[in-house]
């Protein structure tokens, strides 16, 4: 049963062909989603900054499907990618009850990322977000739908089924996913925008220091699954709830000290959970720890609000408010860049959310 009212088979009166294109950003979680239950439902609520420069652009060309035709043709950065194509077919099959008309349409999908494939940056959030935006946009055109808030909710719902964290990429600035007593409208089916926090967070910086560009040894999906047997799991979900409450309180009043403490705790908890799962694994590299130590020393000595967070990987997200950009950039260039892989850094910041290109 779908949460959304289902648009049935294609209407006769509309043109069934066209092209849509969307740019969807990635996001970085401040409270981490780690641990899930079927189907793609989070064990705890999470909250993230929507990014800007790290994004995926996806274009979908659609037309009525003839029986002889391939359902989906997928080009990634101009080239046919069979493994990605299979993943998309699997995804479309998994959402066909929520959006049945897709079975009657043939899709040619082209996608590209703003960040290099081998940057160690996960692309599932931005790519699943961009694809869900395109599908819902086509649905809007075919069925003449107008409700913008419902459109976003359905996009978030469908992108969640592709990759959990993708559901938070659909909104500007900050989004939360999962039920929280602090957020009245929150749901574990889709994310919602959080737009009442202090202004300092609407243009926060996130410079992503690439410590390693290797593909990670354990995927996020496998990592989530290991939470099912992690002996600390229930304590962790409890901690995430407490963190969500205090983080929102700090962000409402712009308390950067408390914001930074919670965000760093979350990053280290995520990696601690990986280290104590069975089997155990470590995604941090020696330079990840060195960067963290230097950030903490800088913060103490300079007295400036510069923090770190980590994704499920070795790269360090350096978070700081816009008003310390000059000092932060000088510190990163002089003390951190030499610890990155080939001097690579992706300079990003909190952004305005997805953009319709066509």
Residue ranges that bind ligand DP6, judged by CB under 6 A:
29, 32-34, 40, 46, 122, 124, 163-165, 220-221, 224, 270, 311-312
Closest distance of CB 167 from ligand DP6, Å: 9
210 DSSP 8-state letter? -
- 53 token code pair: 């420069």
Residue 173 backbone class (left: φ over 0; alpha: ψ -120 to 50; beta: rest): left
Closest distance of CB 28 from ligand DP6, Å: 7
Q: Which is nearer to ligand DP6, 20 or 175 (CB)?
A: 175
Closest distance of CB 314 from ligand DP6, Å: 13
Per 3-state DSSP, the chain is made up of helix, strand and coil in percentages (nearest 5) of 45, 25, 35
Q: Which is nearer to ligand DP6, 122 or 135 (CB)?
A: 122
Q: Which is nearer to ligand DP6, 154 or 271 (CB)?
A: 271
Closest distance of CB 220 from ligand DP6, Å: 4
Q: Which pairing describes strands 72-76 and 105-113: parallel, antiparallel, or unpaired?
A: parallel
Contact 49, 8 (CB under 8 A): no
Q: Which residue is nearest to ligand DP6 (CB)?
A: 164
Q: What is the DSSP string of 225-257?
A: HHGGG-TTHHHHHHHHHHHHHHHHHHHHHT-HH
Closest distance of CB 30 from ligand DP6, Å: 9
- 252 token code pair: 């409402």
Q: Which is nearer to ligand DP6, 105 or 191 (CB)?
A: 191
Q: Which is nearer to ligand DP6, 18 or 179 (CB)?
A: 179
Closest distance of CB 181 from ligand DP6, Å: 19
Alpha carbons 177 and 291: distance in angstroms, whole number: 29
- The alpha carbons of the chain give a radius of gyration, in whole angstroms, of 20
Q: Which pairing describes strands 316-320 and 205-209: parallel, antiparallel, or unpaired?
A: antiparallel
Q: Which is nearer to ligand DP6, 292 or 324 (CB)?
A: 292
Closest distance of CB 300 from ligand DP6, Å: 27
Q: Which is nearer to ligand DP6, 245 or 325 (CB)?
A: 245
227, 159, 168, 137: which is closest to 49 by C-alpha? Answer: 168
- 58 token code pair: 């996806």
Q: Which is nearer to ligand DP6, 51 or 60 (CB)?
A: 51
Alpha carbons 76 and 95: distance in angstroms, whole number: 22
Alpha carbons 95 and 167: distance in angstroms, whole number: 14
Q: Which residue has the tokens 């609520």?
A: 45
Closest distance of CB 267 from ligand DP6, Å: 9
């Amino acid at each position: 049963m779908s949460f959304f009212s289902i648009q049935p088979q294609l209407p006769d009166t509309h043109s069934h062909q066209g092209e849509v294109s969307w740019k969807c950003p990635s996001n970085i979680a401040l409270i981490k989603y780690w641990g899930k239950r079927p189907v793609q439902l989070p064990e705890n609520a999470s909250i993230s900054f929507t990014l800007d420069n790290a994004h995926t652009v996806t274009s979908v060309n659609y037309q009525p499907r003839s029986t002889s035709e391939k359902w989906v043709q997928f080009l990634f950065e101009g080239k046919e990618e069979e493994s990605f194509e299979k993943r998309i077919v699997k995804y479309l099959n998994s959402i066909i009850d929520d959006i049945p008309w897709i079975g009657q349409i043939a899709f040619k999908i082209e996608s590209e990322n703003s960040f290099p494939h081998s940057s160690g940056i996960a692309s599932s959030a931005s790519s699943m977000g961009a694809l869900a935006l395109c599908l819902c946009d086509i649905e809007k055109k075919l069925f003449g739908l107008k409700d913008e808030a419902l459109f976003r909710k359905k996009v978030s719902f469908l992108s969640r089924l592709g990759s959990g964290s993708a559901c938070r990429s659909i909104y500007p600035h900050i989004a939360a996913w999962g039920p929280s007593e602090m957020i009245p409208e929150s749901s574990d089916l889709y994310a919602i925008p959080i737009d009442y926090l202090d202004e300092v967070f609407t243009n926060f910086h996130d410079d992503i220091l690439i410590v390693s560009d290797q593909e990670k040894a354990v995927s996020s999906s496998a990592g989530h699954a290991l939470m099912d047997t992690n002996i600390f799991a229930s304590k962790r979900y409890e901690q995430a709830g407490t963190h969500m409450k205090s983080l929102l309180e700090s962000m409402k009043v712009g308390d950067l000290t408390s914001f930074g403490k919670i965000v760093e705790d979350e990053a280290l908890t995520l990696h601690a959970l990986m280290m104590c799962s069975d089997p155990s694994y470590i995604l941090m590299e020696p330079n990840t720890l060195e960067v963290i130590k230097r950030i903490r020393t800088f913060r103490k000595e300079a007295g400036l609000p510069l923090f770190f967070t980590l994704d499920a990987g070795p790269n360090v997200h350096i978070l700081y408010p816009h008003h310390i950009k000059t000092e932060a950039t000088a510190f990163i260039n002089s003390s951190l860049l030499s610890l990155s892989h080939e001097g690579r850094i992706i300079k990003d910041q909190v952004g305005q959310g997805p953009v319709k290109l066509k």
